[in-house]
Amino acid sequence: MNASPTPDVCLRGVDVYSGFLDAPAQQSLVDDLRRVVAEAPLIQPVTRFGQPLSVKMSAAGAFGWISDKRGYRYSPEHPRGTAWPAIPDSVMAIWDAVSDCARAPECCLINHYSTTARMGLHQDRDEADFSCPVVSISLGDDALFRIGNTTKGGKTESIWLRSGDVAVMGGDARLVYHGVDRIAAGTSTLLKDGGRINLTLRVVT
Ligand code: SIN
Ligand code: MN
């Protein structure tokens, strides 16, 4: 991990720290996440209309974000009724390095993308305190990340997020629309079955 990082790119207010995590740091993060998902297995969420999302999800921290036939929300429990595991120290250290936020994250959402998964443009606005950023950590195959505006519609721009990159959506960019158009299969060997893991760290309350 860089000692005192500065972002390499700022796209529409989103700060991107390219290659923030070196290969050993990425591997140890994956090992920590394996322990988290052993306790809180990845699930395939559905919309309130019963449509499956293409991304599988789990979480660590006081809250996870879930979506089911009752709608979407933060929840203190995994759908199987257990508390979420603690956020690993390795993940907390990334928040401390880049967030510039006095509060600690209360949710580390784990999104697992197969090589065909995507995520439509959306805002992260289920949190109570928009003065805290959302910090995103990419692991595995490259993802084409699209960034729009703080209101719906208008011009968008995209950037490839690669394994080890960290992006921060904070300040004026806290509520930008964002999404993942596609995953570039085979661009990383970090995850043995391919695909991508994205972690987003959020202060929820
Ligand atoms: C998200 O918006 O929750 C995930 C973004 C990403 O996968 O890069
Ligand atoms: Mn999001």
Please tell me whether residue 83 adopts helix, strand or coil conformation. Answer: strand
Q: Give the domain ranges of the chain.
A: 9-202
Residues 99-153 pLDDT 10s: 999 999 999 999 999 999 999 999 999 999 999 999 999 999 999 999 999 999 9
Nearest to 44 by CA among 109, 107, 112, 108: 112
E strand segments, the chain: 9-11, 14-17, 56-61, 64-68, 71-75, 107-113, 119-122, 134-140, 142-147, 157-161, 166-169, 178-184, 196-202
% of the chain exceeding 90 in pLDDT: 97
Under the banding of pLDDT at 50, 70 and 90, the label for residue 1 is: low
- The CATH number corresponding to 9-202 among 2.60.40.10, 2.60.120.590, 3.30.460.80, 1.10.3720.10 equals 2.60.120.590
Residue nearest to atom 3 of ligand 1 (CA): 200
Cα 48 to ligand 1 centre (Å): 20
Cα 182 to ligand 2 centre (Å): 15
Distance (Å) of CA 75 to CA 81, 124, 132, 152, 204: 10, 15, 19, 27, 10
Residues 61-99 pLDDT 10s: 999 999 999 999 999 999 999 999 999 999 999 999 999
